[in-house]
Amino acid sequence: MQAHASEEQIRGVCQKIESLGYRAHPIPGAERTAIGITGNQGEVEPGTLEEMPGVQEVIRVTKPYKLVSRDIKEDNTVIRFPGSTATIGGAALAIMAGPCAIENREQAFTVAERVARAGAQFFRGGAYKPRTSPYSFQGLGEEGLRIMAQIRDQFGLRIVTEAIDNESLELVEEYADIIQIGARNMQNFSLLRRAGRARKPVMVKRGMSATLEELLMAAEYVMSEGNYNVILCERGVRTFADHTRNTLDLSIVPAVQRLSHLPIVVDPSHGTGKRNKVTPLSRAAVAVGADGLMVEVHHEPDKALSDGVQSLYPEQFEELMAQVRQIAPVVGRAIPRLDQAIGPLSKAGTSARSLS
Ligand code: PEP
Ligand code: MN
């Protein structure tokens, strides 16, 4: 649409598209609104649409992913959260940290307090865990979600947690701020569609053997249902390398940013599987231009019920933050100031560091 197109003109074009039997996706940008058209089998006859008031041009997107593509929206998508200054995809880096799994209230609160103090704006943690073994800890379920909601109230952190099926997605949508779709579910198309009907942002993690195009198509599934707040996450892929759990493919970051307007964050925890590699790869992820990081942190990793070996100690996470704070400005990014209103350090948190 033209930059000055009115709401009414945008609505009119959407109605026209729907009357032709297609689906209209109005996607506001910084300058102007683009209206994506999906559901067409062949080429859409541009004639009728091009003549409508407010229409700038009709562009054919030839790539298999349409709504995800930069062809439809040139400027980066910035995801915002009501009642919070946290963003994903803007100039500020989005830092998500927390344990692999929510194990109990005390564990979750202890870690949350430490990561909030270090400057994270998002708290991660699984309430539903997709485990390789059916005998491993599967997560606390709704109880875990309730604990996370209390953490949001207490520390002002936004909550990121995984939905493993349609049933858990109902609950995750209710409690969380970001619905995570895990690597193992990246091509669970019915789950992606359900996430596309949710009213919360969705983070899609790259499958262990997914190509860039497959990752973008997974995001397209979510967007095709009308949810345009999608975040991509690189978490490593399987290769012959056996010195790490996965091979963290940082080259996908600039590749995604060339093709898509969606933000991409990097998870160096699952990406390496080894605590001593998380900070170096976090530095590299920020340097390569990632929109954020997702890092596993545990105050007692030796006792963690999952992924202890790749979890940072809170002190290590503080050091990681200090380092990425210095790297970020080199690539035109920043980490928001530590301005969260957190009261005095509770007994649960150990090292008393004052807020700067
Ligand atoms: C996670 O982030 O908790 C997780 C299970 O990651 P992935 O889906 O990337 O394995
Ligand atoms: Mn984990």
Q: What is the total residue count of the chain? A: 356
Ligand 1 nearest-atom number relative to CA 206: 9
Written as six digits, the tokens of 115 are: 């990561």
Residue closest via CA to ligand 1's atom 6 equals 182
Ligand 1 mutation pick, 205, 265, 278, max ligand atoms within 8 A of CB: 205
Residue closest via CA to ligand 1's atom 5 equals 182
Up-side HSE of residue 91: CA atoms within 13 Å toward CB?
6
Letter string b/e over residues 218-237, b meaning 16 or more CB atoms within 10 A of that residue's CB:
bbbbbbbbebbbbbbbbbbb
Cα of 182 from ligand 1 centre, angstroms: 5
Q: Which residues surround ligand 2, an ion (CB under 5 A)?
A: 100, 307
Question: What is the pLDDT, as a whole number, of residue 345?
Answer: 57
What letter does residue 250 receive in the DSSP assignment?
T
Contact 89, 260 (CB under 8 A): no
- Residues β-bridged to residue 180: 162, 203
- Cα-only R_g, the chain: 21
For 105-172, the DSSP string reads HHHHHHHHHHHHHHT-SEEE-BSS---SSTTS----THHHHHHHHHHHHHH--EEEEE--SHHHHHHH
Ligand 1 nearest-atom number relative to CA 130: 5
Ligand 1 nearest-atom number relative to CA 233: 9
Question: What is the pLDDT, as a whole number, of residue 283?
Answer: 98
Question: What is the pLDDT, as a whole number, of residue 341?
Answer: 46
H or E stretch at 265: strand 264-266
**Among all chains, which residue has been given the structure tokens 């009119």?**
12
Phi-psi region of 69 (alpha: psi -120 to 50; beta: other; left: phi over 0): beta
Residue 90 Cα distances to 82, 182, 332, angstroms: 16, 24, 11
Give the whole-angstrom CA distance, residue 107 versus residue 97. 14
Give the whole-angstrom CA distance, residue 67 versus residue 79. 16
- Which of 198, 164, 193 is closest to 178 using CA atoms? 198
Give the whole-angstrom CA distance, residue 11 versus residue 184. 38
Ligand 1 mutation pick, 180, 231, 252, max ligand atoms within 8 A of CB: 180
Give the residues surrounding ligand 1 with Cβ less than 6 Å away.
Answer: 100, 126, 130, 162, 182-184, 205, 235, 270
Written as six digits, the tokens of 262 are: 């969606």
Question: What is the pLDDT, as a whole number, of residue 47?
Answer: 84
Question: What is the pLDDT, as a whole number, of residue 30?
Answer: 86
Ligand 1 nearest-atom number relative to CA 183: 8
What letter does residue 261 receive in the DSSP assignment?
S
pLDDT in tens, the chain (356 residues): 999 999 999 999 999 999 999 999 999 988 999 999 999 888 888 888 999 999 999 999 989 999 999 999 999 999 999 999 999 999 999 999 999 999 999 999 999 999 999 999 999 999 999 999 999 999 999 999 999 999 999 999 999 999 999 999 999 999 999 999 999 999 999 999 999 999 999 999 999 999 999 999 999 999 999 999 999 999 999 999 999 999 999 999 999 999 999 999 999 999 999 999 999 999 999 999 999 999 999 999 999 999 999 999 999 999 999 999 999 999 999 998 765 445 555 554 443 333 33
Contact 146, 175 (CB under 8 A): yes
Question: What is the pLDDT, as a whole number, of residue 342?
Answer: 57
The model carries a pTM of 0.94
